[in-house]
Structure 1
Amino acid sequence: MEPGGNASVAIRVAYATREEQVIIELSVPDGTTIQDAIRRSGILSRYPDIDLRRQGVGVFGQARALDYCPRTGDRIEIYRRLALDPKEARRKRKNKSFR
């Protein structure tokens, strides 16, 4: 428990770039949202290009809203935006194979 009798939850915040994967462990007060947990983790200052309004987030591969409250043991994941639309990538590969 945190000072004052408030329960806390132990979580991890995960983010990966092409070069590295980062997992930050922290405890937050029970009732903290994903958005607040990400801010408390400090990952936004380490990776200023993260834009939570445009990037997806989830817990163990399941998409979640920023106002979701994680539980003890949850791994909050910040998803990178795709560099290329999957349909467009398939189309380009298909066109390449015909040349």
Structure 2
Amino acid sequence: MGGDRLQVEVAFALPAKQRLVALEVPEGTTARQAVALANLPQLFPELPEDTFNKAPLGIFGKALRNPETHTLRTGDRVEVYRPLEIDPKAARLERAKRQASGQ
């Protein structure tokens, strides 16, 4: 291992604002640690800091089950997922109700 450094990215997006933070991290860095190093609360001051501390994470669109223990490889892009504002099933039901009442 001996002090190797990895090139990774951390991504987070809101509907109107996105950020991709390039980082050089020590080998053995976990996905959760990379998010902390990206300092997203400073880039998104409008959100509570907990947004990033507890958010689900993924690598290139694949959700991580254990981001606290998942070690990164060079080239990984850690994605910070926002919580759903509405359940997708509930949203489909609402759309169906609106369409039915509009006919």
**TM norm structure 2:** 0.84
1:62 aligns with 2:59: no
Q: Percent identity, aligned pairs only?
A: 33
What amino acid sits opposite 1:88 in the alignment? A
Gap regions ≥5 residues in structure 2: none
Query: Which residue among 76, 79, 93 is the counterpart of 1:77?
Result: 79
CA RMSD of the aligned region, Å?
1.6
**TM norm structure 1:** 0.87
Name segments (4+ residues, structure 1) moved above 3 Å: none
Aligned residues: 95
Separation of aligned partners in 2, 1:58 and 1:95: 34
Q: What's the counterpart of residue 53 of structure 2?
A: 52
Please tell me whether the aligned partners of residues 38 and 44 of structure 1 are also in contact (alpha carbons under 8 angstroms): no
Query: Which residue among 74, 84, 92 is the counterpart of 2:94?
Result: 92
Please tell me whether the aligned partners of residues 36 and 53 of structure 2 are also in contact (alpha carbons under 8 angstroms): no
1:98 match: secondary structure:
helix
Q: What's the counterpart of residue 7 of structure 2?
A: 10
